[in-house]
Amino acid sequence: MTGKKIAVFIVNFNMPERADSLYGHITKYAKWPHEIFMIDNGSDLVAPSQHTNVGIETNLQTTGGWNAGLDAAGRNGNWLAYWFLITSAEFKSDRDPLTPMVVALLKCPELVGIHPALTQDSTTAWNHLKARGGDGVRRTWMIDNIASLWRADWFEANGGFDPDLKYGWGIDLELSYKARQQNKWMWIHEGVRVEKVTNIGYTMNRMGMSADERVRLAGANMAEVLSTKYGSNWDRKMRSDYVESWMR
């Protein structure tokens, strides 16, 4: 099992400079054996990443891009873990961002998902992901697909990313909810740091819609899909106000 590689998925839509930066950093510093799948999700304003090896003609949104990458990698049990990254993420230190998380995954059989700590200047709604100091790990109620590493066999056994959640909103909540229901663990790794810059693609006029429009569309899509699957109280089931007592 320890000889298995990590499949790394980067979804790019009109952000080749940021996708190339992620690719370069991982290639330079990540020591654990891995293969990068650079998915161009229908870029139409600028050239795709120079490292593209999975191409989609039209923008299928985030989940469609990740699922295309998973299909290209082959869902055949040959991967130890899947690492999902978005182009609003950026590593700034010269430390290996992958191996410490993989080692943690191998040491703890109950651990199914792990995420780098976000820098304090990151812009995100998920403040629980931000660094608290030190180089250790801490258990959390949910990890986001900013830079999430999921154990591949568990991910596949639990249905992976629902393609109906096409904007990416809700796939992190749902997968984390499934992990908690099974008493599986998710950790934040304080020794690995990533900066998240929200809405950078929109401020660069690269997304083909406004940030507010995407929030509206993604929120409506998430509510429709998850309420159908989990009932009208899906939001309370899956979000932090519901799990505060579980975390204490």
- Structural domain boundaries enclosing 53: 5-247
CB neighbours of 136 closer than 8 A, spacing ≥ 6? 190, 191
Report pTM.
0.94
Number of domains in the chain: 1
Question: Tens place of pLDDT for every residue, the chain, 248 residues?
Answer: 467 999 999 999 989 999 999 999 999 999 999 999 999 999 999 999 999 999 999 999 999 999 999 999 999 889 999 999 999 999 988 999 999 999 999 999 999 999 999 999 999 989 999 999 989 999 999 999 999 999 999 999 999 999 999 999 999 999 999 999 999 999 999 999 999 999 888 888 888 889 999 999 999 999 999 999 999 999 998 986 656 555 54
Q: Residue 165 belongs to a domain with what CATH number?
A: 3.90.550.10
Residues 6+ apart with CB under 8 A from 80: 1, 2, 4, 5, 6, 102, 105, 151, 152
pLDDT at 199: 87
